[in-house]
Amino acid sequence: MLLGVDTGGTFTDFVCYDGGSLRVCKVLSTPAAPERAILQGIAQLGLDVGKLRLVHGTTVATNAVLEGRGVRTAYIGNRGLADLLSIGRQARAALYDLQPLPEPPPVPAELCLQVDARLAADGQVVEPLGDAELQRLGAQIEALDVEAVAINLLFSYLDERFERRIEQALPAGVFVSRSSWVLPEQGEYERGIATWLNAWIGPRTQGYLRRLGEALNPAPVHVMQSSALTIDARTASRRAVNLLLSGPAGGLSGALAVGRAAGCSRLLTFDMGGTSTDVALLDGRLRLTSEGRIGRYPVAVPMVDLHTIGAGGGSLARLDAGGMLQVGPASAGADPGPACYGRGGTEATVTDANLVLGRLPSSLRLGGGMALRPAAARAALERLGDAMGCSAERAAEGVIALANEHMAQALRVISVQRGFDPADFSLMAFGGAGGLHVCALAEALGMSRALVPAYGGVLSALGMILAPRGRELSQTLGLPLQTQSDADLRRHLRRLATRGRSELLAEGVAAGDIRETYSLDLRYRGQRYTLNVAYETPAQAEAAFQHAHRQRFGHTLAAPLELVNVRVMLSASDTQAQLGCDPITSGAPRGTARVVGVDTPVAVWERSRLGLGRRHAGPLLIVDSVSTTYVSPGWSVSIDALGCLSLERG
């Protein structure tokens, strides 16, 4: 029995697949100890832990970075480069701010250590690493009393021997992260940040996954990686930096599967949860990037290509010092949550605004069990309206309009700014709050089609059980593409594939189930940034790069190509879960609701009663156990056999 679990800022979502049907539930997250909410959900579903295999999307690593809760970590670099992470790229966050506030360095100066050893750019030894140097380094680490160590030496992606020797010389019990294992790619700063992040938050993640494993013993636990491939929890505990987009990756995995099943592979997605909204573009496949960021840190490990903003159902609405309405990024979270949760929250949130406007029926029970408190929501919006000099309804409309504009701008970043016209795509909304905003966002982007999948409120958890096990591996070569034959390139690629295969075989994956996908990071000689293209032959890769460059930048150059990195993705899906939902029958609305801005009562439908093949004109509200969809005036909706709502404008 498979259980997908997505721990969010407000709710923890569950999807259970028993081989024939899906069951879902939501419970409030317990940020101080996320495993408590997981155990509560398992009990609520009445599951036998001994018969489960759990696939988990966790926010422990992400929250540790964003909240600065890493452990005491030493950084080891070459002589003269100990302060590499503090210097960074010397880029200012605000270009025209002449007096920026100083940022604390990632690693305090007293924890930055140097080693006398050096490799040249071609991998040759310039200065050997002696035994006396190793003994001195080990004594320094002992004296500093650190929990973790990050090792980042020049050109270690060409030869890892020095980093391995340092690792072996360090005291037992210290969490060690070395760059040649975390990210064997060029770019000392980006490689160093990834290695340091892995060490800095590694013990936190390791401790959480150990506690979770003990609580769920004997159930095997796998964890979603940022690349949308799952990994055994024991291995994941050493790869914390690969888990930073664990939850959002599950959502995109689910969105891709649902889109394919619905015959729609070109999607703009937005996952609106309680704390944040994640947006992405899917053009028939998941798009990965090595240029992601978490907080103020670049993260060069492979991760799903998405854009995140602090706008969710729990985003707080307030006036700034100048009297301007602001929505987010601060959130009410799970505790106390929005005012309408009745858990002590008093400030207005997006969820409260939707409730006051009638788009969230007051009779609804969130997650199937939590009753809403309309009076508390109205009181919060009245206080905001008084400060704005308007009614509670007018204030609520302003909150929704501003939240929608934040999300629309994020969608433009991942579409228009990359050369894609949103009108050529369908907008897929998921997350607990996504369906309430889908029509408004589609209109803002000039889109005429939208999808709201069944179980959209828990789609990230569904994506967990649909995602394959796998690895995404890379290696810097830095060679002219024209000097490499197909045999040369496949030799490099197969070497990476062999390493990844051995890890998957150790997890119990059958050799015949492992699929390999090759790709190259290419650029014109002299460029800084690369584009990733699939690899079949050198000529095909060059043609694919020229096409991608024209798509992204509007032109091509008559310049030779440089092969920067080779990449291998290995995946093995052992889950054949069938998408489905409760049987769709024809029926009548369960009631009506008053929606602000609509003159007549709005019908409220159960999703499962819409009737296959029937098209309903908006405005109307569609509810299920985990989400609500608002179909605006001017839109219509129908439902397919998978429970997916298809919305059309006009």
Dump the DSSP string for 612-639: TT--EESSEEEE-SS-EEEE-TTEEEEE
Taking the model in full, what pTM does it have? 0.85
Pairing of strands 230-232, 221-224: antiparallel
Eight-state DSSP code of residue 564: E
What is the identity of the amino acid at 634?
A: G
Longest dimension (CA), the chain: 83
Query: Which residues make Cβ contacts (< 8 Å) with residue 117, sequence separation at least 6?
Result: 78, 127, 128, 129, 133, 153, 162
Say yes or no to pLDDT of 576 above 70: no
Helices 131-144, 161-169: inter-axial angle, 10-degree rounding:
50
- What are the residue ranges of helices labelled H in 75-118? 84-87
Say yes or no to pLDDT of 262 above 90: no
- Arithmetic mean of pLDDT, 50-67: 87
- Arithmetic mean of pLDDT, 510-524: 93
Q: What is the distance, to the nearest Å, from the Cα of residue 193 to the centroid of all Cα atoms in its chain? A: 19
Say yes or no to pLDDT of 20 above 90: no
Give the chain's length. 650
Residue percentage of the chain with pLDDT more than 90:
62
C-beta atoms surrounding 450 within 10 Å: 27
pLDDT of the residue at 85: 94
Say yes or no to pLDDT of 575 above 80: no
pLDDT of the residue at 587: 86
Residue percentage of the chain with pLDDT more than 70:
98
pLDDT tens digits, residue range 287-316? 888 888 888 899 999 999 988 887 888 889
Say yes or no to pLDDT of 613 above 90: no
Q: Are 31 and 60 in contact (CB under 8 A)?
A: no
Confidence of residue 456 (pLDDT cuts 50, 70, 90): confident
Say yes or no to pLDDT of 31 above 90: no
Please name which of 628, 601, 599, 631 lies closest in space to residue 617, comparing C-alpha atoms.
631
What is the identity of the amino acid at 461?
A: A
Cα–Cα distances (Å) from 109 to 82, 120, 199, 296, 341, in that order, read: 8, 26, 17, 19, 46
Query: Which residues make Cβ contacts (< 8 Å) with residue 339, sequence separation at least 6?
Result: 332, 345, 346, 347, 348, 349, 352, 373, 376, 377, 379, 380
- Arithmetic mean of pLDDT, 580-601: 85
Say yes or no to pLDDT of 325 above 70: yes
pLDDT tens digits, residue range 122-167? 889 999 999 999 999 999 999 999 999 999 999 999 999 999 999 9
Q: Are 34 and 243 in contact (CB under 8 A)?
A: no
In this predicted model, which residue has the larger pLDDT, 277 or 10? 277
pLDDT of the residue at 359: 92
Say yes or no to pLDDT of 368 above 60: no
C-beta atoms surrounding 405 within 10 Å: 15
Identify the three-state secondary structure at position 566: strand
CA–CA gap between residue 383 and residue 369 (Å, rounded): 28
pLDDT of the residue at 309: 81
CATH number of 468-572: 3.30.1490
Q: Are 312 and 273 in contact (CB under 8 A)?
A: yes
Pairing of strands 11-17, 148-151: unpaired
- The string over 160-192, giving b where at least 16 C-beta atoms fall within 10 Å of a residue's C-beta and e elsewhere, is bebbebbbebbeeebbbbbbbbbbbbbbbbbbb
What is the identity of the amino acid at 134?
A: L
Please name which of 562, 563, 615, 608 lies closest in space to residue 583, comparing C-alpha atoms.
608
- What are the residue ranges of helices labelled H in 60-153? 60-66, 84-87, 131-144
Residue 292 corresponds to which tokens in the numbers above? 């992601």
Eight-state DSSP code of residue 104: P
In this predicted model, which residue has the larger pLDDT, 381 or 641? 381
Q: Are 630 and 602 in contact (CB under 8 A)?
A: no
Identify the three-state secondary structure at position 408: helix
Query: Per mean pLDDT, which range of 7-21, 71-85, 472-486 is the poorest?
Result: 7-21
Burial category of 20 from C-beta neighbours within 10 Å (exposed 0-12, middle 13-18, buried 19 and up): exposed
- What are the residue ranges of helices labelled H in 231-373? 233-236, 246-261, 350-356
CA–CA gap between residue 618 and residue 646 (Å, rounded): 12
CA–CA gap between residue 297 and residue 295 (Å, rounded): 6
- Arithmetic mean of pLDDT, 450-460: 88
Q: Report which secondary-structure segment, H or E, holds 53.
A: strand 53-57
Confidence of residue 178 (pLDDT cuts 50, 70, 90): very high
pLDDT of the residue at 91: 78
Say yes or no to pLDDT of 207 above 90: yes
Query: Which residues make Cβ contacts (< 8 Å) with residue 348, sequence separation at least 6?
Result: 316, 317, 318, 339, 377, 380, 381, 383, 384, 395, 396, 399
CA–CA gap between residue 519 and residue 222 (Å, rounded): 26
Q: Structural domain boundaries of the chain?
A: 315-402, 468-572, 591-649
Query: Which residues make Cβ contacts (< 8 Å) with residue 350, sequence separation at least 6?
Result: 311, 312, 313, 314, 315, 317, 327, 338, 399, 400, 403, 433
Per the prediction, the chain carries an average pLDDT of 90
pLDDT tens digits, residue range 212-260? 999 999 999 999 999 999 999 999 999 999 999 888 899 899 999 889 8
